[in-house]
Amino acid sequence: MSKTRAIVITGNGTNCEMEAAHACRLGGFDEAVIAHIADILSGEIRLDDFHFLNLTGGFLDGDDLGSAKAQANRLKYAGISGSSERLVEQFTRFIRDGKLILGVCNGFQLITKMGMLPGFDGNYLNQTATLTYNDCGRFQDRWCYLKCDPASPSVFTRGIGRGIYLPVRHGEGKFLCDSEATLARIERDHLAVLKYSDADYTSGTMEFPANPNGSVNAIAGICDPTGRIMGLMPHPEAFVHYTQHPRWTREELPEDGDGLALYRNAAQYVKNHL
């Protein structure tokens, strides 16, 4: 097959693009391109030329309208320079072609507010959930245990086991739905891929600080029904090597960090299916 290509979008306040690109390469992608959003809007770079889209953490537009809301509007309504095509058409075509999207932290907020998650019935432009201010009322920078749902359709978490350990750093990470029906469907269809949990990964928790933001049902990350689009507040790109672990000098750890599995799964999926 042709080279496996990942793209990481940067600009307007993102700040994790280098780590995300490194994680993609370490996970097995032949190429990981960091592209400024302006290069995509100008038509110089097209999403069609890639297999895996990364939307990373940061503070898009200073979170002035709420986390990632301004960028969500930009991506839904902005046109491509010199073309009649809107950028959102590239996004929806990317999804329709069976490709992968991962939104981390600000990226999760972005695709949720665009409507791509939970993406019921193939409707990726209807917002039914959001991420809002942490219950504690302040920014949280800590490591969290995350219980994984083995029945989830997520491409990214296949074979992970009971759970993973990742850092969070956000002020607006509380996941909420527009209705009980939306939340019930997320749970019924096993779309709540990751939940904040205790250290034994036995169950989701609403207790602070294990649940750092008060997310409903302890939800830390969700996917769409196809499993090819996933968003999560914790940062997998920030733990791809044992030296990134907060206790790496005091514990015997495997070389690979827990977050690397998500990128390896993405690379393997692309090699097998695209």
Query: What are the residue numbers of the active site?
Result: 105, 235, 237
Provide the 3-class DSSP secondary structure of residue 14.
strand
Q: Which two tokens stand for residue 10?
A: 């940067």
Amino acid at 93: R
Other C-beta atoms closer than 10 Å to the C-beta of 133 total: 16
Distance CA 199, CA 20 (A): 26
* 216 vs 7: CA distance, rounded Å: 31
Please give the Cα distance from 193 to 236 (Å, whole number): 14
> 29 near 52, Cβ under 8 Å?
yes
* Contact of 267 with 273, CB cutoff 8 Å: no
Distance of alpha carbon 171 from the chain centroid:
16
